[in-house]
Chain A
């Protein structure tokens, strides 16, 4: 049935584009959640999870209680679930997908339920399925007790293996998901170390080990954490984040040295540290980098290293980039984003046409400062204004440029009070200083006494 037909029959049908990557990702996340019941979890794309709960059931109060907990967990994630508990993984998948809904078979009725399964549970190819149907078989029970050799000859050996696994006659194991082992390195000392330069040297050695392992995995680290264990049991943590994934030990050692230097209270070694552990919690893929012919890669690496150093010493939030936003309101047209954040694809800055003077100010006052203005009502341009104690006589002005409030952002839209309109003027005073003024509110149409503000300063 085509989508158009379906929509014709059911007008309220909602169509969402199929995103297999997102679905796979979501399935893996659900598998991560199911980790709390057992470490052996396998995903069966597109919509199946198999948990091997051998030996785990006593922790949750029995099989049934574990199954109930798992179902509840999936419900909280917004998923609708069909579950089955059996002795083999294939049987569990088949019963969950193809068995009767709403009945979880117990051990006694398991075999009977499996025998009632349709032939689809064998996961055979279309030819084998067609052949089985032609031979008159309708469900697993029909095939269960027949001698195996003729079945293998007619339908292939995979179907027969699957049949044995479904019935529990052949054992099968699942291949659980294994997450890559986190990268850790450790040094223990018989004689505790106390001096800062020995600590930094040890960190350097640990980093060399960790970076070798990162190189094997073709990854780079974004966050490096060191934990120092004092001989009396106290612990001290140091962490360093970088803007780009790094695999070389030297820059990270320098960053750690900076971090130790810039600590608010210095590391108190007491009697010394006897264990030093390094972990790389956040990693990213990093391939071998090719140097561009004109050194462009080296140049951006230098800059990234500088920004990392400054971020470690002074805080990553202090260094920002300017990012444009698509909005009419001038104070929202720009956002400051930390440099280390991944740049999203953004629209460019809209350019003033050639030959025009700057139409937007270099300095924007936030919030705009209220001024007293002499201007002709209802909507004459300003003639004098007083700001921060000094009077300015306006000699040249351009305007008004009207910016209406963004009514589409309000919950009631245009019906409710939309806010006050702004009329912007670009003015120059006798001394040559150029300002960006605005009047807030239209006289008599919106407010009785519109106020004037200075929003920005030009060159």
Chain B
């Protein structure tokens, strides 16, 4: 569904021509979510995400990385993603390059900005969103800073519409949702993964709640698994579902013994 335009000036021209109605939508890979979002995640719009609890902060950060991967083009070795953090956040837990590579993002495409306070972070973020050469800008804020109000988010939204860059606002530290001009608002929590052999933790699984969507339905929950190789999500197996050890094969009916051989395990 997505017809991503690569050239930065063409992005701006198209956005201006159609007055912002021509949205590029990137499919998340899960049919149900795409349907609710009206085709997929809209690039060039502001999206906000919250961590459910303090222990889910890493999940929220990885959700931001995953969305950034969805909206960014694959080619090129120039940096296309800017992550702005506060100094306190970087000191508490730094971003780890190999971890980003394991999620599918080449760390050479990331520029990390560590800023002393919220004001400089918002200013830098606004400047960055205006630069059409980037694909996405992640602004990571902690708590409920008074500077992040409706005006600030509206400014980000307008700049994003004009330039085609997707700002992702990551709210950590028990933040509370307030009035904002974001296109979608998500709440992210970590969920049990589908284990691999020998009961090892499997692919990252997140529980997403769509709290709010501008001009669309909201209030849905999904549990999704990130597929690094395809660069998109897929529906996570439900607890106690039967998941084939080797891909393929029919699901055995209730009561049927699976002595036929294809091994099955029960997802915990």
Which of B40-48, B96-104, B141-149 lines the interface with chain A? B96-104
Most chain B CB atoms below 10 A, which of A355, A357, A457: A357
Picked from A305, A318, A364, the residue with its CB within 8 Å of the CB of B93 is A364
Residues of A near B62 (CB, < 8 A) are 362, 458-459
Most chain B CB atoms below 10 A, which of A310, A320, A323, A427: A310
Residues of B near A390 (CB, < 8 A) are 55
Contact B127 A310 (CB under 8 A): yes
Which of B31-39, B128-136, B150-158, B211-219 lines the interface with chain A? B128-136
Contact B101 A349 (CB under 8 A): yes
Q: Sort chain A's interface into a size bin.
A: 35 or more
Residues of A near B206 (CB, < 8 A) are 459
Within 8 A of B (CB), among A377-402: 390, 395-398
Contact A302 B8 (CB under 8 A): yes
A360 to chain B, nearest CB (A): 4
Contact B102 A359 (CB under 8 A): yes
Within 8 A of B (CB), among A24-46: none
Picked from B7, B111, B132, the residue with its CB within 8 Å of the CB of A339 is B111
Q: Does B70 contact A (CB under 8 A)?
A: no
Contact B97 A302 (CB under 8 A): no
Contact B193 A434 (CB under 8 A): yes
Picked from A359, A360, A432, the residue with its CB within 8 Å of the CB of B193 is A432
Contact A434 B55 (CB under 8 A): no
Contact A365 B203 (CB under 8 A): no
A95 to chain B, nearest CB (A): 57
Determine the main DSSP class of A at the interface with B. mixed
Cα distance A355–B114 in the bound complex, in angstroms: 33
Which of B20-28, B176-184, B194-202 lines the interface with chain A? B194-202
> A302-B132, A310-B113, A390-B55 in contact; A360/B98 too (CB < 8 A)?
yes
Q: Does B160 contact A (CB under 8 A)?
A: no
A296 to chain B, nearest CB (A): 7
Cα distance A222–B216 in the bound complex, in angstroms: 50
Cα distance A433–B51 in the bound complex, in angstroms: 12
Q: Does B58 contact A (CB under 8 A)?
A: yes
B235 to chain A, nearest CB (A): 16
Q: Does A426 contact B (CB under 8 A)?
A: yes
Cα distance A314–B199 in the bound complex, in angstroms: 48
Q: Does A269 contact B (CB under 8 A)?
A: no
Q: Does A336 contact B (CB under 8 A)?
A: yes
Contact A428 B192 (CB under 8 A): yes
Contact B115 A351 (CB under 8 A): no
Picked from A320, A352, A361, the residue with its CB within 8 Å of the CB of B96 is A361
Contact A459 B192 (CB under 8 A): no
Contact B112 A432 (CB under 8 A): no
> A322-B107, A433-B190 in contact; A396/B201 too (CB < 8 A)?
yes
A390 to chain B, nearest CB (A): 7
Closest to B132 in A: A302
Q: Sort chain B's interface into a size bin.
A: 35 or more
Q: Does B4 contact A (CB under 8 A)?
A: no
Contact A358 B96 (CB under 8 A): no
Contact A398 B200 (CB under 8 A): yes
Residues of B near A323 (CB, < 8 A) are 97
> A334-B96, A431-B190 in contact; A362/B134 too (CB < 8 A)?
no
Cα distance A333–B94 in the bound complex, in angstroms: 13
Q: Does A295 contact B (CB under 8 A)?
A: yes
Cα distance A38–B211 in the bound complex, in angstroms: 77
Within 8 A of A (CB), among B27-85: 55-59, 61-63, 65, 76, 78-79
Q: Does B110 contact A (CB under 8 A)?
A: yes
Q: Does B173 contact A (CB under 8 A)?
A: no
Q: Does B205 contact A (CB under 8 A)?
A: yes
Contact A362 B8 (CB under 8 A): no
A263 to chain B, nearest CB (A): 15
Q: Does A363 contact B (CB under 8 A)?
A: yes
Q: Does B226 contact A (CB under 8 A)?
A: yes
Q: Does B228 contact A (CB under 8 A)?
A: yes
Contact B96 A459 (CB under 8 A): no
Cα distance A287–B102 in the bound complex, in angstroms: 39
Q: Does A5 contact B (CB under 8 A)?
A: no
Closest to B63 in A: A459
Picked from B97, B120, B204, the residue with its CB within 8 Å of the CB of A434 is B204
Picked from B65, B113, B115, B128, the residue with its CB within 8 Å of the CB of A362 is B65
Q: Does B229 contact A (CB under 8 A)?
A: yes
Contact A358 B99 (CB under 8 A): yes
* Residues 308-330 of chain A, each 1 if its beta carbon lies under 8 Å from chain B, else 0: 01100110001111111000001
Contact B101 A352 (CB under 8 A): yes
Q: Does B191 contact A (CB under 8 A)?
A: yes
Contact B268 A362 (CB under 8 A): no
Contact A357 B203 (CB under 8 A): yes
Within 8 A of B (CB), among A335-363: 336, 339, 349-352, 354-355, 357-363
Residues of A near B96 (CB, < 8 A) are 330, 334, 360-364, 456
Q: Does A366 contact B (CB under 8 A)?
A: yes
Residues of B near A432 (CB, < 8 A) are 189-193, 205, 207
Residues of B near A365 (CB, < 8 A) are 92-94
Contact A363 B61 (CB under 8 A): yes
Residues of B near A361 (CB, < 8 A) are 58, 96, 99
| CB pairs A–B below 8 angstroms (13 shown) | A299-B132, A306-B133, A321-B110, A322-B95, A334-B107, A357-B201, A358-B204, A362-B62, A362-B100, A365-B94, A396-B193, A398-B200, A459-B226
The 4 lowest CB-CB distance pairs between A and B, nearest first, are A459-B62, A398-B200, A459-B204, A358-B102
